[in-house]
Structure 1
Amino acid sequence: MTTPATKINFRENQNEGIIEQLQDVDFALKMKNAVDVQLIDTNLYMCKELWLPWGARGAFGGQVVAQALRAAWDTVDEEFFVHSLHSYFILACSVEMPVIYRIQRVRDGKSYATRTVTALQKGKAIFICSCSFVKPDDSVTLSHQVSGKSGSNYVQLMICQTPMPRTVDPETLTSDIEVLKNTLAITESVPESVRKITQKRINEVRLPSSLIAQLHAHNFNQDLAIDSRAVRTLSPQQVISGRVEPSPHSQRWFKTRGLLNDDMKLHACIIAYASDSGFITTAAAAHGHLINSKGLGMLASLDHSIWFHYPAARADEWLLYDVFSPQADNGRAIVFGKIYNQNGNLVATTAQEGILRISQREQEKRKKTAACL
């Protein structure tokens, strides 16, 4: 039995199916390649690489969203910037072959341009996305940012910018990779199944020893191209058990590990990429389940929407992702997210519905509990 590759490259359409061998790590370049696409014909693009997260059935959904956005963006005039996208995940994306993105140029107007993207594998649609782009508006416009509280006078009182939710400084938090490493350090209590999947995740970001020494000298952690830090840090025991205190709300900080250039299209695509990370899992956490919980049967994204509010947002500076899951039923759950920069600007708003099913074992357990009541 072979272990599937965690990251597949399709650059230059050569060496398909070969895992990238990292010699020198340029985190900015890694992130740029993760969301980039290459033109293969008019209105046809191909991904450069795909990433298979640990425990996932297919390639990371946020990467497909970002690549679809990048492909669509390549077909509009330079002065246009994305303001929204709405997408559906149809089939799991295989990492064994590249994704082809087919663009339909729906409309080119004076102020707005619309594109539809169909992501294909083996001739079948695995993902569809509608993207809308807008020219900058230099006129005087109405502007407000409120927290969403009710009350007839609230918008009037808070017409000026409302600060982002109160939270802790990202520099004081533990990175996701460090949480996994801390879990592995408890050798006596880690089940072999959890150890294998945790070690696999750490191996995905293993760096050359010379570079590790440099990073430690600069007080950096070994991490993915995106540094993600949950405000509610998981303990090793929680990671092992797959259970947490139920909460429908989660917060995490994220940014790229490397500094990016000033291509704001790249920054927006990376924000789209990161917007799918730890998103629908908030709905599972509302019931006390982590992604590795034995009580979970299936957790998968069905659709994903993003509204971009702040074209100047940089993905290489800390962004706060504030997520809330208001409802789950009938095997589905919904989550809403708000992304803020450290100045308190609401950068983007997100929404997603996903499949949320408990395992057969958990169903039987709950039936027995209900029967005893």
Structure 2
Amino acid sequence: MSTQFEPLPGDRPISFNRLMALKQNGDDTFESLTGAWPPGPMKRAFGGHVYAQAMYAASKTVAKGFVVHQMTGYFILPGAIDVPFEYRVRRVRDGGIYCLRAVDVFQQSHAAADGRTPCFTATMSFKRSERGNRKWQPWEYQNVPKEHIKTEYGRVLDGLNPQDHILAPASDALWWIDSDYMKRVTPIFPGVETRKVDMTKYNGQVELGRGIEGEAISKYRQLLFYRLYQDEEGDGDVDLNLHAAAHLYTSDRNSLFLIQRALGYEKVVCSLASLSHTVIFHGFAEDLCMIGENGKSKWFVQESWTSHGGENRGTHHSLLWDCEKGKVIATTIQDGMIRVPKESADKIAMGKEDSGKASKL
């Protein structure tokens, strides 16, 4: 593999292993080797890229056997796609069972203040397995049954395999999909194959600016199936932190657009930006492995919704599921900026837009 920075090829998917590739520049300092994916024509980097790669860089500084179990990141400045990210890892604490890392991410670009200000910062905790420890007890739990995805969403999943659903759009907003923007974006989402479920039969009708008719906005749901793009020659030994990075990467996929759609603003051009994102992995580290016993990529599914919002911010929640085991492997919560143009919001509130009637999503 070349150690020179390479722009992301937009005409074909690449493996997640290649997408996350790093070179070490010094003590606890790493640099990305592949450009980030731009979800829009502005050529700004997908936030999930720097989020996942920051953890992956930190994982290079922990002892063998430590796997990430929690991460919180803060998005400070937009990232560029044609400049490497520099990951500066700080060793906060090394313990016998837990260790903590902090990462500040810089770019030599105008978007990130010429490298003087980090564009992203995060803390993440890694954990060693406690099996064999005299204090270890073999218990685990989740607050939803294993069959939840199949039973709750049978109307939209019946008879379909994950690969039968459409590839998730670059940016999941109707105003974006129906505009010329889509002609100017990189269509291939790299690293991870993502398939969006048509939730029309489940979500029913959504009133613009008000959410689902007769229901709480938190009733609105979206399912996204995902699996790794692997190297043709295979990825070699399983690096669970690399697989964890793939889950982190996908958890940020089109997240804030869900809030816009749940509120009925799907046709309004809104300003959206991630502010902070937290992911907590549950259970055993091996549950994060995205390769099955047959050597092929396993399907996982993200179940997403929103709960609260106001003051131009909204929250995005999700559970990440192992489809085969019916097991929740992670919980996520994201705080995002959502600004609806005043003129559009006023028109919707006054019922003056033609699209102001309830519409199916």
Q: Give the TM-score taking structure 1 as reference length.
A: 0.72
Of 26, 36, 39, which aligns to 1:41? Answer: 26
Equivalent in the alignment of 2:265? 289
CA-based RMSD of the aligned residues comes to: 3.3
CA shift, 1:266, in A, is 1.6
Equivalent in the alignment of 1:217? none
- Which deviates more, 107-116 or 260-269? 260-269
Alpha-carbon separation, structure 2, partners of 1:199 and 1:243: 28
- Which deviates more, 281-290 or 115-124? 281-290
- Which string of whole-angstrom CA distances, capped at 9 and with x for unpartnered residues, describes residues 18-41 of structure 1? 56486xx6x5x5321222322111
The verdict on how the C-alpha distance between 1:35 and 1:350 changes in structure 2, with shifts beyond 3 A counting, is same
Superposed counterparts of 1:220-235, under 5 Å: 224-232=190-198
AA in 2 matched with 1:357: R
4+ residue runs of structure 1 moved beyond 6 angstroms? 190-193, 242-245
Give the 3-state SS of the residue equivalent to 1:12 in structure 2.
Answer: coil
Alpha-carbon separation, structure 2, partners of 1:114 and 1:19: 31
AA in 2 matched with 1:174: H
Residues 1:165 and 2:185 are matched in the alignment: no
Alpha-carbon separation, structure 2, partners of 1:14 and 1:299: 29
- Which string of whole-angstrom CA distances, capped at 9 and with x for unpartnered residues, describes residues 208-256 of structure 1? xxxxxxxxxxxxxxx7542212222689xxxxxx999856321111112
Alpha-carbon separation, structure 1, partners of 2:18 and 2:241: 14
CA shift, 1:51, in A, is 1.5
Equivalent in the alignment of 2:337? 355
Residues 1:128 and 2:115 are matched in the alignment: no
AA in 1 matched with 2:74: Y
Residues 1:322 and 2:298 are matched in the alignment: no
Give the 3-state SS of the residue equivalent to 1:270 in structure 2.
Answer: helix
Residues 1:256 and 2:225 are matched in the alignment: no
The verdict on how the C-alpha distance between 1:301 and 1:191 changes in structure 2, with shifts beyond 3 A counting, is closer
Q: Give the TM-score taking structure 2 as reference length.
A: 0.75
Equivalent in the alignment of 2:78? 92
Equivalent in the alignment of 2:285? 311
Give the 3-state SS of the residue equivalent to 1:125 in structure 2.
Answer: coil
CA shift, 1:301, in A, is 0.7
CA contact (8 A) 1:164 1:346 kept: no
CA shift, 1:162, in A, is 4.0
- Which string of whole-angstrom CA distances, capped at 9 and with x for unpartnered residues, describes residues 259-306 of structure 1? 65422222111111111002222211211234xx3x232111100111
AA in 2 matched with 1:320: V
Give the 3-state SS of the residue equivalent to 2:162 in structure 1.
Answer: helix
- Which string of whole-angstrom CA distances, capped at 9 and with x for unpartnered residues, describes residues 59-90 of structure 1? 11111011100110000101111110111101
What is the percent sequence identity of the aligned residues? Answer: 21
Residues 1:147 and 2:137 are matched in the alignment: no
Give the 3-state SS of the residue equivalent to 2:298 in structure 1.
Answer: coil
Give the 3-state SS of the residue equivalent to 2:15 in structure 1.
Answer: helix
Q: Which runs of 5+ in 2 are unaligned?
A: 108-114, 202-207, 213-218, 291-296, 353-361
**Count of residue correspondences:** 306
- Which string of whole-angstrom CA distances, capped at 9 and with x for unpartnered residues, describes residues 140-196 of structure 1? 426232336xxxxxxxxxxxx64443232443632226x79xxxxxxxxx9999464
Equivalent in the alignment of 1:109? 95
Q: Which runs of 5+ in 1 are unaligned?
A: 1-9, 149-160, 181-189, 206-222, 236-241
